[in-house]
Amino acid sequence: MIVLSSSHATYTDITYHIVFGAKHRAPVLEKSRRDDLYRFIWGILKNRQCHLYRIGGIEDHLHILTSLHPTIALADLVKEIKTASSAWIKGKGVFPRFDFWQEGYGAFTVAAEARPALIDYIKNQEAHHAGGAMSDREDFVAELKRLVEAAHLEWKPEFLP
């Protein structure tokens, strides 16, 4: 991404894999309306000059792979996505059992060469979480823990209600 400011160019490649779930990981994001939610979030990102590489998820959580415009703080963007989408979901009755998004989120930087594999991973969330046998299935908490630890961060289970 190139941002022009007066006579100077700013070169950035800030890509984040953002993950967050419904409050208490409730399975409230019905498949029939998820694409509408994804389009709504895409509109927010577009308005903030972010490039959406991929969005996907299942009943209890979302994954967003997006660039971050250098004038926007990550926390502000995530707050806007969660606040605006909550209001939209409730105002339109999109997911009748939806209450709120979880308070926190995961956000992990992504190198350009890792984007294609991550796009495929997000695209295949349903298959990933379906697993084979029940013992092979990875739930949202296990997935988030794996992502946190892969980023060499300390996993703190007490942060999950």
pLDDT tens digits, 109-156:
999 999 999 999 999 888 877 765 444 577 888 888 888 888 888 888
Q: 131 near 137, Cβ under 8 Å? A: yes
pLDDT at 145: 86
Task: Quickly state the pLDDT bin for 52 (edges 50, 70, 90).
Answer: very high
Q: 33 near 95, Cβ under 8 Å? A: yes
C-alpha 63/C-alpha 54 separation (Å) is: 8
pLDDT at 126: 84
Which residues are CB-contacts of 94 (< 8 A; sequence separation ≥ 6)? 33, 36, 37, 88
Which is nearest to 100 in space by CA: 130, 73, 122, 79? 79
The domain covering 2-128 belongs, at the CATH homologous superfamily level, to: Transposase IS200-like (3.30.70.1290)
How long a stretch of residues is the chain? 161
For residue 28, pLDDT over 60 is answered with yes
Looking only at the bridges linking them, the beta strands covering 61-67 and 8-11 are unpaired
Domain parsing of the chain, residue ranges: 2-128
For residue 56, pLDDT over 80 is answered with yes
Percent of the chain whose predicted confidence (pLDDT) is above 70: 89
Q: 25 near 17, Cβ under 8 Å? A: no
For residue 26, pLDDT over 70 is answered with yes
Give me the mean pLDDT over the 75-84 stretch: 98
- DSSP letter for 51, please: P
